[in-house]
Amino acid sequence: MIKKLLKALLSILLVVLIAIGGLFGYLTVTEFKPEPVEPLPVRQLQSVEGVPEGELRVLSWNIGYAGLGEGSDFFMDGGTHSKSADLSTVNRYLAGIRDSIAGTGADLVLLQEVDTDSSRTYGINETTPLIRNTGVFALNYSCPFVPLPMPPIGKVHSGLFTTTDYEIDSAERIALPCPFSWPLSTANLKRCLLVSHVPVEGSDRELVLVNLHLEAYDDGEGKIAQTKQLMDFLQTEYAKGNYVIAGGDFNQIFPGGLEAYPNAHPDLWSPGILEESSLPEGFRYVYDLSVPTCRLLNQPYDPSDTENTQYYVIDGFIVSPNVTVSEVSVLDLGFENSDHNPVLISVSLAG
C-alpha cells in the first residue's frame, strides 16, 4: 500500500515538474526581446500640422491599464489581487480616463500602462478610445502567460502611448537596461523610451517628446541605469538644437517628495530618489508636490485610513533649457480611475 502511494506521489510530482519545465520552456522561446532601437509606426487619422512655437499643454498620466482605480489593490504592493476589475469596471475606468484627458485641453498626451490585448483588461485595445488625431504605441510588456500570482495574470500586451492633435513626423522605441535575468526576464517588463519627433511650425528644430515608465520592482540598480541612459539621451537631443520634453512615471520620488509624503510602508514598496545632480546641465525637473501623483495599491482607496494610505510624487517631467515652463499641476482626480493622478504642464518653446 505504501509503495503504491509513493509511486502515485512520485508520478504526480513528475507531472508537475514536466508542466513547470514546459511552461518555462514556452516562456523562454516566446520571450519578448526587442532591438536596442526600433522605428515605430505613426497612426494618423487626418491631416495635421506641426506644433506652434507658442504655449503648449502637455499631460502625463500612468492610467494603470484602466484596471487599477479606486476599488483596486495589487499583489506586488501588499494587496491580494492580480486582476481586481471586472469588464464593466474596466470600461468605466477607461471612459473616465478618456473624459478626464479631454477636459484638460492638453495638446500632447503621454500615457503609461496602456493595454492593447491583455487578459487583465479583457483584450481591449485601449489606444482606440484614447487616440487623438495622431498616436504612437511602444510595447514594453509582452508575455503570452504571466504565471503569477494565483490566479495568474495571464496574457499581457501593454506599453506606452503618445497621442496629439499635431503631427508626429517619426517615432522610435529605445530599449532601456533590463535588471532581470532568466527566468524572471521571461515574464517581466522590457522598459523603453517612446521617442516622438514633432515638427515645430516656422522652425527647423523639432520637439523631441519622450514618454517613459522606469523600473518599479527592482533592487534600485535598474532605475539608476535607466535614468542615466535617459539623461544621456536628453542631452544628446538638446545638443542637436532640439526642444526636449520627457514625461512619465519615473518610479522615483522627486526632490522634496519624501518630506511631503513620508514613506510609512517601505516594507511594501520603496521608490528610488531623483537627484538634481543627475540632470544634464541646464535641464530641470518639473513637478508639483501639492497633490500626490500615486498611491500604494496595498488596499482599495480609502483616504480616511491615513495609517495605511500611502502617497508618492513619482510622476512629472524633465525639460531642456530652451523650454519655458509657466505652470505645472497635479490634477487631483481622487484616484477614481487609476492609481496615479495626471500631471499637466504649460510650456513655451523658447527659441
Q: Residue ranges per domain, the chain?
A: 1-30, 35-349
> Whole-prediction pTM value?
0.95
Question: Residue 254 half-sphere exposure, CB side, CA atoms within 13 Å?
Answer: 24
The tens-digit pLDDT sequence of the chain (351 residues) is 676 666 666 555 555 555 455 655 766 777 889 999 999 999 999 888 999 878 999 999 999 999 999 999 999 999 998 877 899 999 999 999 999 999 999 999 999 999 999 999 999 999 999 999 999 999 999 999 998 888 899 999 999 999 999 999 999 999 999 999 788 889 899 999 999 999 999 888 999 999 999 999 999 999 999 999 999 999 999 999 999 999 999 999 999 999 999 999 999 999 999 999 999 999 999 999 999 999 999 999 999 999 999 999 999 999 999 999 999 999 999 999 999 999 999 999 976
Residues 6+ apart with CB under 8 A from 320: 234, 237, 238, 242, 243, 244, 245, 282, 283
Cis upstream peptide for 149 (omega within 30°)? yes
3-state secondary structure of 225: helix
Q: Pick from 68, 319, 88, 307: which is nearest to 210 by CA?
A: 319
Cell of 327: 505652470
Round to whole Å and give the CA distance between 93 and 113: 13
Q: Which residue has the cell 535617459?
A: 230
Pairing label, strands 323-330, 294-295: unpaired
Tell the CATH topology of 35-349.
Answer: Deoxyribonuclease I; Chain A (3.60.10)
